[in-house]
Amino acid sequence: MNIIVLAIPVFILFLCIEIVINFVKKTNYYQVNDTVNSISTGIISRIMGVVLLIIPFSIYQYCFNQFALLTWSTDSASTWIVAFIVYDLCYYWFHRYAHEINILWASHVVHHQSEEYNLSTALRQTSTSAWFGWFFYLPMAFLGIDPIVILTVGGLNLIYQFFVHTQLVGKLPAWIEAVFVTPSLHGVHHGQNAVYIDKNYAGVFIVWDRLFNTYQVELETEKPVYGVRKALNSWNPVWANIEPYYRLAEDAWHTKSWRNKLVIWFKPTGWRPDDVLTAVPRQYTNPKNLQKFDIKLPLLANIYVGLQHTLLIALSVYFLVLAPNLTSQTSLLASSLLLLSMFSLSLIQEQRAWAWLMESLRLILTFTFIFTLKGDLWWQALSIVLFVFSISLLYRFSLNKGPLKDDLQASHE
């Protein structure tokens, strides 16, 4: 089983601990909508990974079988240590190019869209990295690193990175900051301040940034302002993955140069043809006076969204655990309903006019599927109870449409 799936309960546990500490200390490192959106984006990433990772893994497996230059024993500790270090070096270059080339940034930017920096931000992952990232790890196949080893060390690399996405830990002792990626150093990477942009790419060992001149320490005089200059301004996790590609396609469509229609995808990050700068103007944030995107919801609405997402997290983990043993039809249906659920809940968070109708339909489809997924009587009874409770709560706060629209209007003023 994928080590990341096994780590999900640990992620959630530490996320809850950080939220409690944030509440007690009143640090304001969390906002409900942003946290829900980051978790939803992470769930989508894991769900899409079930399908998308098959192809790049097969390519790696083929190159390993046909072209491996060395042989490493999986029973040797040195194999795992070398693989862990080499993987992080490959990750550094993949991560660096993901910040330097338009089409790679369109995938990776999802991780940077949050204007908060906490453990939920670590869960905010793109759903399309499997299309591009595999290429940067092929050298490990030629070096003879077994596919199982790369999957494991890759998972450990991601687990390490989860724990550096926090503001509750300040700068660590100098020798640690000199060798490893720390919360302070990675916080720099998420900053949109001019001095912090395109710095600290490493996943575990900050020595790569020191070697390749991309190292930047957090300055005492300038706190990182998190997020990206072209703000997403949405709580929709599906749109979060589509929007960057849409912007590139929009520019490619409007430019009159056929050459630019092609090269825009591979140009440096942020490059736009001259003829679209005025035809398709865009607004960018200023880190010095950033107004964070937020839509205030009544307490009851926040409770509903929170409860539904708690249920979705449980169902998603259940799906990921069972995925290897499910039929392709069941996997497709389950993943589609999970995507629909997160899309529908984002409509409520953004107070779209048709959110209530969509959510009602979503509840009917989802709980019908859950009801029929397992034949045990207790499972069916639980499904009915959860459905009745959810639809009742939805109906209760949907009666407050008027005040909710006022809240939405106020949030944009």
What does the pLDDT read at residue 398?
67
Tell whether the model's pLDDT for residue 166 goes beyond 70.
Answer: yes
With respect to residue 57, please indicate whether it lies within any of the assigned structural domains. yes
pLDDT band at residue 394 using 50, 70 and 90 as cut-offs:
confident
With respect to residue 122, please indicate whether it lies within any of the assigned structural domains. yes
User: pLDDT over 90 for what percent of the chain?
Assistant: 62
What does the pLDDT read at residue 375?
66
What does the pLDDT read at residue 329?
84
Both 343 and 202 in one domain: the answer is no
Both 61 and 198 in one domain: the answer is yes
With respect to residue 293, please indicate whether it lies within any of the assigned structural domains. no
With respect to residue 249, please indicate whether it lies within any of the assigned structural domains. no
pLDDT band at residue 406 using 50, 70 and 90 as cut-offs:
very low
What does the pLDDT read at residue 400?
59
Question: How high does pLDDT run on average in the chain?
Answer: 89
Both 36 and 160 in one domain: the answer is yes
pLDDT band at residue 405 using 50, 70 and 90 as cut-offs:
very low
User: Minimum mean pLDDT among 76-85, 147-156, 364-373: which range?
Assistant: 364-373
Tell whether the model's pLDDT for residue 378 goes beyond 60.
Answer: yes
For residue range 179-222, list pLDDT tens digits in order: 999 999 999 999 999 999 999 999 999 999 999 999 999 999 99
Both 204 and 348 in one domain: the answer is no
Residue 326 structural domain = 299-411
Both 327 and 196 in one domain: the answer is no
Tell whether the model's pLDDT for residue 176 goes beyond 80.
Answer: yes
Both 97 and 194 in one domain: the answer is yes
User: Minimum mean pLDDT among 56-70, 153-167, 201-215: which range?
Assistant: 56-70
pLDDT band at residue 410 using 50, 70 and 90 as cut-offs:
very low
With respect to residue 190, please indicate whether it lies within any of the assigned structural domains. yes
| CB contact set of 136 (below 8 Å; sequence gap of 6+) | 90, 91, 93, 94, 97
Both 315 and 181 in one domain: the answer is no
Both 27 and 152 in one domain: the answer is yes
With respect to residue 176, please indicate whether it lies within any of the assigned structural domains. yes
With respect to residue 243, please indicate whether it lies within any of the assigned structural domains. no
User: Minimum mean pLDDT among 17-26, 178-187, 222-231, 361-370: which range?
Assistant: 361-370
User: Which pTM was predicted?
Assistant: 0.89
Q: How many domains does the chain have?
A: 2
With respect to residue 279, please indicate whether it lies within any of the assigned structural domains. no
The last residue of a domain, from among 211, 243, 277: 211
Both 185 and 306 in one domain: the answer is no
Highest mean pLDDT: which range of 71-75, 182-186, 288-292: 182-186
Tell whether the model's pLDDT for residue 338 goes beyond 70.
Answer: yes
**Tokens found for residue 115:** 């204007």
The last residue of a domain, from among 153, 188, 211: 211
For residue range 41-55, list pLDDT tens digits in order: 999 998 887 767 777
The last residue of a domain, from among 211, 239, 273: 211
Both 312 and 179 in one domain: the answer is no
For residue range 239-259, list pLDDT tens digits in order: 999 999 999 999 999 999 999
Both 32 and 128 in one domain: the answer is yes
For residue range 105-142, list pLDDT tens digits in order: 999 999 999 999 999 999 999 998 878 888 899 999 99
Tell whether the model's pLDDT for residue 403 goes beyond 50.
Answer: no
* 283 vs 188, residue with greater confidence: 188
How far apart are the C-alpha atoms of 349 and 235, rounded to whole Å? 7
